[in-house]
């Protein structure tokens, strides 16, 4: 976890020798701050369920699969992206193209350190409206916060505001579409449009959020460079004071980070965990983005931006690892070098971004 900001401005005054001098004023309190971690797609393919069942002796146990990411996820507030719907306990599960993952994955995500998951993705409607309801019911039963899809209009209209070290942080989530499946009602899941993102962020601020993070499911699959629409949307959304950070998902490969007018966008965090039918190398790579927000005279800003490259090692056994905390191998070195190169393509490294 990143340490809280403890810097104190000014120079301590020397003790006064004047008889009528009062006691020295106490130093000002540390600036309010919090750390945020965000990960890429949680995409539960059948091979991952098989691995979890092997690890759990028949009952899915996703803890061993994810355990290697624990230090990277630790923060005051940690946000995941649950790309696939969830089945109810005891119900059948499904893989590509219409997913429904075992509910046991939620307990592992919570135990890993995640506080909230975005649920708006192109797979949100894979199992129709019933799948949306079941997914959110499973998340509620486990105690995982969520945003991006809803069971009722009232739920859709209620901003998600989370606590991070005493700071109120809003999260909004949107997706570009649903693989051609029409929404029976527009409130069931948030469809991506810059003004809708801004309006939702403003609503979160009105509900008490001091900082708002936008989780956006967007981009061109398997492309390491953000497309023109992503860059245009990011500029428009971050121009509004209601949005403080964009974290991107969907493309199944790492994309760059960029600072726009003092605010950060992570165009794509890659896959946090996945096992595609045809692994591409890049589809096993991801990153955990980490930010330290500090409240200053002009409001909240990111004082420190970092990322930790991750890799899904296909084993056996299949395991996700933080590449900064494991010994090097040729595959790990390749993934680390590629992630570093991609992240810095839009000047992020030149702006002091570190891992």
More confident residue, 171 or 1: 171
Could you tell me what percent of the chain has a pLDDT over 90? Answer: 88
13 confidence band (pLDDT: 50, 70, 90): very low
**pLDDT tens sequence across 153-177:** 999 999 999 999 999 999 999 999 9
27 confidence band (pLDDT: 50, 70, 90): confident
User: For residues 46 and 49, what is the distance between their CA atoms, to the nearest angstrom?
Assistant: 5
Asked, for residue 48, whether it belongs to a domain, the answer is yes
Average pLDDT, the chain: 92
Asked, for residue 323, whether it belongs to a domain, the answer is yes
Asked, for residue 14, whether it belongs to a domain, the answer is no
Look at residue 57 in the predicted model and tell me its pLDDT: 97
CATH number, domain of 176, equals: 3.60.21.10
User: Kind and range of the H or E element at 164?
Assistant: strand 160-164
Look at residue 26 in the predicted model and tell me its pLDDT: 74
pLDDT for 19 beyond 50: no
pLDDT for 220 beyond 80: yes
Mean pLDDT of all residues in 104-118:
98
3 confidence band (pLDDT: 50, 70, 90): very low
Contacts of 131 (CB under 8 A, 6+ apart): 85, 100, 125
Mean pLDDT of all residues in 181-185:
96
Asked, for residue 294, whether it belongs to a domain, the answer is yes
Number of domains making up the chain: 1
Look at residue 24 in the predicted model and tell me its pLDDT: 75
Mean pLDDT of all residues in 108-116:
98
Instruction: Tell me how long the chain is.
Output: 355
User: For residues 278 and 283, what is the distance between their CA atoms, to the nearest angstrom?
Assistant: 9
* Exposure on the CB side of residue 182, measured as CA atoms within 13 A: 2
Look at residue 9 in the predicted model and tell me its pLDDT: 29
- Under 8 Å between Cβ of 55 and 63: yes
Asked, for residue 4, whether it belongs to a domain, the answer is no
Asked, for residue 3, whether it belongs to a domain, the answer is no
Instruction: Provide the 3-class DSSP secondary structure of residue 238.
Output: helix
Mean pLDDT of all residues in 295-310:
96
11 confidence band (pLDDT: 50, 70, 90): very low
Look at residue 2 in the predicted model and tell me its pLDDT: 36
Asked, for residue 133, whether it belongs to a domain, the answer is yes
- φ, ψ for residue 4, nearest 5 deg: -65, 155
pLDDT for 17 beyond 50: no
**Structural domain boundaries, residue 39:** 33-351
Structure tokens at 169: 């942080």
Biggest alpha carbon distance in the chain?
A: 81
Asked, for residue 18, whether it belongs to a domain, the answer is no
Distances from the Cα of 305 to the Cα of 263, 264, 278, 288, angstroms: 10, 8, 33, 11
User: Kind and range of the H or E element at 112?
Assistant: helix 104-112
pLDDT for 63 beyond 90: yes
- Under 8 Å between Cβ of 263 and 244: yes
**pLDDT tens sequence across 305-346:** 999 999 999 999 999 999 999 999 999 999 999 999 999 999
């Amino acid at each position: 976890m990143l340490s809280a900001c403890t810097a104190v401005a000014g120079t301590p005054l020397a003790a006064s020798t004047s008889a009528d001098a009062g006691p020295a004023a106490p130093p000002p309190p540390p600036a309010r701050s919090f750390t945020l971690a965000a990960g890429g797609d949680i995409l539960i393919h059948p091979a991952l369920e098989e691995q979890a069942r092997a690890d759990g002796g028949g009952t899915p146990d996703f803890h061993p699969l994810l355990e290697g990411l624990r230090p990277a996820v630790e923060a005051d507030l940690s946000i995941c992206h649950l790309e696939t719907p969830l089945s109810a306990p005891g119900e059948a599960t499904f893989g590509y193209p219409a997913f429904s993952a075992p509910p046991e994955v939620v307990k592992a995500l919570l135990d890993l350190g995640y506080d909230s998951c975005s649920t708006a993705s192109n797979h949100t409607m894979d199992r129709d409206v019933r799948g949306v309801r079941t997914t959110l019911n499973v998340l509620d039963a486990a105690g995982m916060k969520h945003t991006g899809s809803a069971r009722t209009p009232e739920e859709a209209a209620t901003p998600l505001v989370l606590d991070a070290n005493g700071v109120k942080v809003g999260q909004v989530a949107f997706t570009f579409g649903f693989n051609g499946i029409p929404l029976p009602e527009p409130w069931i899941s948030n469809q991506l449009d810059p003004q809708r993102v801004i309006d939702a962020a403003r609503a979160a601020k009105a509900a008490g959020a001091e900082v708002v993070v936008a989780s956006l499911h967007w981009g061109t699959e398997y492309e390491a460079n953000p497309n023109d629409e992503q860059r245009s949307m990011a500029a428009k959304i971050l121009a509004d004071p209601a949005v403080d950070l964009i974290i991107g998902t969907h493309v199944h490969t790492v994309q760059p980070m960029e600072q726009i007018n003092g605010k950060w966008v992570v165009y794509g965090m890659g896959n946090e965990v996945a096992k595609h039918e045809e692994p591409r190398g890049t589809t096993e790579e991801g990153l955990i983005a980490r930010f330290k927000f500090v409240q200053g005279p002009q409001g909240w800003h990111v004082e420190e931006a970092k990322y930790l490259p991750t890799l899904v090692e296909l084993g056996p056994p299949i395991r996700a690892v933080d590449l900064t905390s494991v010994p090097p191998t040729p595959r790990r070195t390749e993934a680390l070098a590629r992630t570093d190169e991609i992240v810095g393509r839009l000047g992020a490294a030149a702006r002091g971004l570190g891992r």
